[in-house]
Amino acid sequence: MKKKILIHDIAKHLDVSIATVSLVLNGKAKEKRISDTLAERVLKYVEEVGYKPNQLAKSLRTGKTHVIGLMVEDIANPFFATVAALIEKKALARGYRIIYCSTNNDTAKALDLLTMFQERHVDGYILALPNGVEDEVSALVRRGKALVLFDRLLPGVLTNAVVVDSASGMYEATQHLLGQGFRRIALVMAHSEQTQMAARQQGYAQALREHQLPELVHEIALPQEHEQIVHELQLFFQVQPACDAVLFATNYLGVYGLEALTRLGKRIPEQVAVVSFDDNDLFRLYSPPITVVAQPIEAMAEDIINTLLSALESRAETGRIVQLQLAPQLVVRSSSIRSRGQSSNEG
Amino acid sequence: MKKKILIHDIAKHLDVSIATVSLVLNGKAKEKRISDTLAERVLKYVEEVGYKPNQLAKSLRTGKTHVIGLMVEDIANPFFATVAALIEKKALARGYRIIYCSTNNDTAKALDLLTMFQERHVDGYILALPNGVEDEVSALVRRGKALVLFDRLLPGVLTNAVVVDSASGMYEATQHLLGQGFRRIALVMAHSEQTQMAARQQGYAQALREHQLPELVHEIALPQEHEQIVHELQLFFQVQPACDAVLFATNYLGVYGLEALTRLGKRIPEQVAVVSFDDNDLFRLYSPPITVVAQPIEAMAEDIINTLLSALESRAETGRIVQLQLAPQLVVRSSSIRSRGQSSNEG
DNA sequence: CAAATATGCTAAAATGTTTAAGCAAAATTT
DNA sequence: AAATTTTGCTTAAACATTTTAGCATATTTG
C-alpha cells in the first residue's frame, strides 16, 4: 500500500518550498512570478507521481467545496430524477459535484437536510422545498449564499428561481378538455400549500370560470400508502360519477389515477377523459395515450445550473435576482377523443 | 450576520481549554477524566449557543467524513432511483450521507467518479459499475476500503456484493412462457459484458435448451438515442415475425419494446407475449398488464446498507466478505394469455 | 512521611492545504 | 555608485478541529 503523497513530498523532492508548488498548481505562477522553467518542472513532477491535493484541506483553507446541494421532493419520482440527472451532468462538466436528497415533502426532514448541507459546506443550493422552511431559506439568502429554488417558490422568500408557469399550463389543459366538449371536469391535486399546486388549481379554476362551470376539486392528503391513495381515488370516481373528465395535478397522481380507473373498469376517454401534469413513459405508452402538460425538463436543468453558477461566480454584485418562468407544453395525445373509429397513432 | 462560532469561543467563554471542550463533545469525558460538573457546563453552553463543529476540520483531522458514495447506472432509471432513495433514507437514519452519481455505463465516467469519490474522502462505496474498472476497484479493496457492489458483480473482483439471482429469474420467466404454449421466444438484451446481463441470458438459454428450442437473441448497443433504439426494435420485430413471445432483460428495454410494439400495432399477447425483467408503473398499468421478474428492491437496499455499515464498523477483521444473492419474483399479470375475446379499445 | 497512584485538566502537535507578507539577489535607474 | 525596482522565491500564519503526552495537585498506600 503506497503512502499517500503530499504537497510536502513534491516540494522536498524538487527542493523548493511548499508555497511554490501550491502557487504553480493553482495557476498563480505568473502572478506570483514563479519562473516558467520551475513551474514546468513542478507540473511535470506532479503529473509524473500523480499527486492530487487533499480536497478537505483545500476546502478548509479556502472555504470552497465545489459541491452543490440539491434537494428534491422524491428522487424516485421520474420528474425529479430526470431533472437531477441532467443537473448532475451539467454541473460535473463545470467542475461541480452534486449531493442530493429527498425531502418527501416533510418539513422537518427538509430542515435537517438544510442543516446537513451547511455542515457539509456546500457552495450552492438548488431547492424544491416543502412549505415551512421560509425562515431558514431567508437566512441563507441574507447570508449571501448562492441559491436557486425550482419547481415551486417559497411564499415570502424573494430569491433566484426557475419554475414552470403551472397556471397557464393547467388553463390550457382545461381549455383543451372544454374544447373537446367535456363539461364536468374534475381536478385531483395534492393537499398542499405549495405554490405550484395553487397555480395549477388557479389555471383550472379560471378556465372553468370562463365557461361558467363549477369546480370539482379533490385533494389527496400526502404522504400516504400507495394502496390507500388508489383506494381513495376509486371512491372519488364512484361518488363523482357525474364527471366526464379529470385533470391530475402531478405525474404520480396521474399514475395512481390510472390505476384507480383501470380497477373500476372505466374506459378512457369514453367514460372519463384524462389529462395529467408532467409527462412520463406510462402516459406516453398507455392505451389510449394520455394527454399531458409536459415540463421543459432539459431547459429547466440548464437554466437552474446556469443561474446557480452565475450566482456563485459573481460574489460581488449580491443584489441580482433571477426569476425564470418557463412555458410548459400541452402534448395532445388522444386524437380520437370524443370521435369514434379513429385507430391511428399520431407522431 | 452573526459570526460563525468556533470551539475556541466555547473554550474561552467557559475558561477551559479547547481540548476539554472537544473531549466532552466527542463523548470522551469519562475516559479522559473530565469531571461531570464541567462536562455538563460544556454541554449546556454548547447547546445554548448552538455550536456545531466544522465538519471539514473534523474530517481532515479524523479521516472520516460520514459520507457514502453511491454509483448507479442512471439515476433516472426507476430501478436505480428507488434503490437510491431507499439507501439514502436508511443511511441518513444511521448518520451517514449519500452522494450519488450516474455512470451511464461509461467506463471513463465511472473511473472519473471513483477518483472523485476518493478525493471527497467518502468512507464507503456502493457501486453498480460498468466493466473495465476492475483494477481500480481491486485497488480499493486491497486498501481495505468499505465497499459493496450491487446489481452486478465485477469479473475477477472478490468483494462484498448484493445481487439478484438473474439467471433463475429469467429461467422462471422463460419457463412461464413455455408453459403458456409459446415456442418462438426472443430475448432482447443490452450488448454488455456485465454479469447480470450474462446471467439473464443464461437463464433464458437454459430453459430453451431444456425444451430443445432455438435461442432468438437480439442485443441492443448502448448508449443510443431513445428514438434510435425504438426504431431498431421495430425492425427486429418486423424481421423476426416468427417470434410469438419476447423477454426484455431490463426495464428500460421493456419500455422501449412496448413502444416499438405499439407503433407496429402488434397486439399483446395475441401476436407477441411480453415479459420484462424489473417492474415499474408502466408494466403494472399497461393494458394488458405486463408480467415481470420483479426485484426485491426494499430488501436489496436494506442488505446493501447493512453490509456496508458492518464493513465500515469492523475495521479490524478485514478478511470478511459478504456476498448475498436475492431471489427475484415472477409476477404473472396477464392471466388471459392465449385466451381470446379480449374486446379491447381498438376504437 | 515518602512514594505511588489517581484526578482533572491543558499544551501542543498533527491533519494538508492556501496565501499574505517579506527577503535576498539581480537588474535597472539616477 | 548609490538608490530603486524587479525578480524569484520562501516563511509562517491561517483554516478548525482531534488527540497524545504530560503536568500539577490531590489522594491513597506502605
Query: Residue-wise pLDDT tens for chain A (347 aa)?
Result: 567 899 999 999 999 999 999 999 999 999 999 999 999 999 999 999 999 999 999 999 999 999 999 999 999 999 999 999 999 999 988 989 888 889 999 999 999 999 999 998 999 999 999 999 999 999 999 988 999 999 999 999 999 999 999 999 999 999 999 999 999 999 999 999 999 999 999 999 999 999 999 999 999 998 899 999 999 999 999 887 679 999 999 999 999 999 999 999 999 999 999 999 999 999 999 989 999 999 999 999 999 999 999 999 876 556 789 999 999 999 999 754 444 333 344 33
User: Is the Cβ pair B347, A288 closer than 8 Å?
Assistant: yes
Cα angle value B170/B172/B176 (rounded, 5°) = 115
Identify which of B97, B115, B287 has the shortest CB distance to residue A287. Answer: B287
The owner of cell 407503433 is B263
Beta-carbon separation of A285 and B259 below 8 A: yes
Let me know if A33 is exposed, middle or buried by CB neighbors in 10 A (0-12, 13-18, 19+).
Answer: exposed
What residues contact A277, with CB distance under 8 A and at least 6 apart?
A166, A169, A170, A173, A200, A247, A248, A249, A250, A251, A254, A292, A293, A328
Long-range contacts from B295-301, C-beta under 8 angstroms, 24+ separation: B295/B79, B295/B164, B295/B326, B295/B328, B296/B164, B296/B326, B296/B327, B296/B328, B296/B329, B297/B79, B297/B82, B297/B83, B297/B86, B298/B86, B299/B326, B300/B83, B300/B150, B300/B162, B300/B164, B300/B326, B301/B83, B301/B86, B301/B87, B301/B90
The cell 424481421 sits on which residue? B239
Partner-chain contact A56 B54, CB within 8 Å: no
pLDDT given for residue B337 in this prediction: 42
Which has the closest alpha carbon to B162: B322, B338, B294?
A: B322
Sign of the torsion angle spanned by Cα atoms A69, A72, A77, A81: negative
Q: Right CATH number for B64-164+298-328 from 3.90.1150.10, 3.10.310.70, 3.40.50.300, 3.40.50.2300?
A: 3.40.50.2300
Nucleotide nearest residue A19, measured CA to C1': D10
CB contact under 8 A, B56 and A54: no
Q: At which residue does the C-alpha cell 522536498 appear?
A: A12
Best mutation target, A56, A226, A286, A344, to test chain B (most B CBs within 10 A) = A56
Strand B124-127 relative to strand B97-102, pairing:
unpaired
Strand, coil or helix: B143: coil
Strand partners, A325: A163
Q: Which residues of B are less than 8 Å from A343 in CB distance? A: 346-347
| Alpha-helical regions (H) of B211-339 | 226-239, 251-264, 281-285, 297-313
Residues of A with Cβ-Cβ distance to B253 under 8 angstroms: none
Q: How many CA atoms lie within 13 A of A55 on its CB side?
A: 17
Strand partners, B150: B162
- Please answer whether residues B258 and B288 qualify as being in contact, where contact means their C-beta atoms are separated by less than 8 angstroms: no
Distance from CA of B212 to the nearest CA of A (A): 35
Whether the CB-CB separation of A108 and A326 falls below 8 Å is answered with no
Between chain A and chain B, how many beta carbons pairs sit less than 8 Å apart?
124
pLDDT at residue A313, as a whole number: 83
According to the model, what pLDDT value does residue A198 have?
A: 95
Alpha carbon distances (Å) from B139 to B28, B66, B103, B262, B318? 35, 21, 19, 47, 14
- Residue B223: its pLDDT value, please? 86
Q: How far is B137 from chain A (nearest CA, A)?
A: 14
Side by side, the strands of the sheet bearing B146-150 are B97-102, B67-72, B124-127, B146-150, B161-164, B323-326
Q: Does residue A32 approach strand C to less than 7 Å at its CB?
A: yes
Encode burial over A302-338: b for 16+ CB neighbours within 10 A, e otherwise: ebbbbbbbebbeeeeeeeeeeebebebebbebbebbe
Residues B272, B237: contact at Cβ < 8 Å?
A: yes
CA distance B282 to A23: 55
Q: In chain A, which residues have their Cβ closer than 8 Å to the Cβ of B346?
A: 343
Q: How many helices (H) and strands (E) does chain A have?
A: 13, 12
Residue in A74, A101, A271, A281 to test binding to B, most B beta-carbons within 10 Å: A281
pLDDT at B322: 94
CATH class of the domain whose range is A7-53: mainly alpha
B3-62 per-position pLDDT tens digit: 789 999 999 999 999 999 999 999 999 999 999 999 999 999 999 999 999 999 999 999
Give the end-to-end CA distance of chain B in Å, rounded to a whole number.
66
What's the CA A162/C1' C1 distance, rounded, in angstroms? 82
* Whole-angstrom distance, CA of residue B117 vs CA of residue B99: 9
* Average pLDDT, integer, range B116-129: 94
Nearest CA in chain A to B265: A345
Distance of A66 CA from D10 C1′ (whole Å)? 29
Report whether B123 contacts B210 (CB < 8 A). Answer: no
Burial of B274 (0-12, 13-18, 19+ CB in 10 A): buried
Which nucleotide across the nucleic acid strands is nearest to A14, CA versus C1'?
Answer: D9
Give the Cβ contact number of residue A36 at 10 Å: 9
Q: Residue A275: beta bridge partners?
A: A247, A291
Element (H, E) at B98: strand B97-102
**Residue contact A121–B60, C-beta within 8 A:** no
Q: Provide the CA A16 to C1' D2 distance, Å, integer.
A: 33
Chain A residues whose CB is inside 8 A of the B54 CB are: 60
Average of pLDDT values for B95-124? 92
How does pLDDT run across A220-254, given as a tens digit for each residue?
Answer: 998 899 999 999 999 999 887 679 999 999 999 99
CA torsion, ordered A280, A284, A287, A291, to nearest 10 deg: 90
Question: What is the CATH number assigned to the segment(s) A65-164+298-326?
Answer: 3.40.50.2300
Q: B300, B284 in Cβ contact below 8 A?
A: no
pLDDT 10s digits, A130-188: 999 999 999 999 988 999 999 999 999 999 999 999 999 999 999 999 999 999 999 99
Q: Do A65-164+298-326 and A7-53 fall under one CATH topology?
A: no
Each residue's pLDDT tens digit, B149-198: 999 999 999 999 999 999 999 999 999 999 999 999 999 999 999 999 99
**Cis ω before B296 (30° cut-off from 0):** no
A153: nearest Cα among A167, A142, A143: A167
Report yes or no: A10 and A52 within 8 Å, Cβ to Cβ: no
Domain boundaries, chain B: 7-53, 64-164+298-328, 166-295
Share of chain B above pLDDT 70, in %: 94
Section B274-303 average pLDDT: 95
Mean of pLDDT over chain B: 91
Nine-digit cell string for A213: 362551470
Contacts of B84 in chain A (CB under 8 A): 75-76
Who contacts A253 (Cβ-Cβ below 8 Å, separation ≥6)? A188, A189, A190, A220, A276
Residue with cell string 445481487: B163
- Verify if strand D has an atom below 7 Å from the CB of A20: yes
Q: Is A109 within 8 Å of A103 (Cβ atoms)?
A: yes
Can you say whether the dihedral through the CA atoms of B175, B180, B186, B191 is positive or negative? negative
Helix (H, G, I), strand (E, B) or coil at B63: coil
Any atom of strand C under 7 A from CB of B119? no
Cβ–Cβ under 8 Å, residues A331 and A279: yes
Of B84, B99, B263, the CB nearest to A97: B99
What 8-state DSSP symbol labels residue B28? -
Q: In the structure, how far is the CA atom of residue A18 from the C1' atom of nucleotide C29, in angstroms? A: 34
The count of residues in chain B is: 347
> Hunting for cell 427475484 — which residue is that?
B328
pLDDT at residue B314, rounded to an integer: 76
Q: For the domain made up of A166-295, give the CATH fold.
A: Rossmann fold (3.40.50)
B99: chain A residues, CB-CB within 8 Å: 97-99
Place B342 in a pLDDT band, splitting at 50, 70 and 90. Answer: very low
- Residue environment code for A193-217, b if the CB has 16+ CB neighbours within 10 A, otherwise e: ebbbbbbbbebbbebbeeeeeeebe
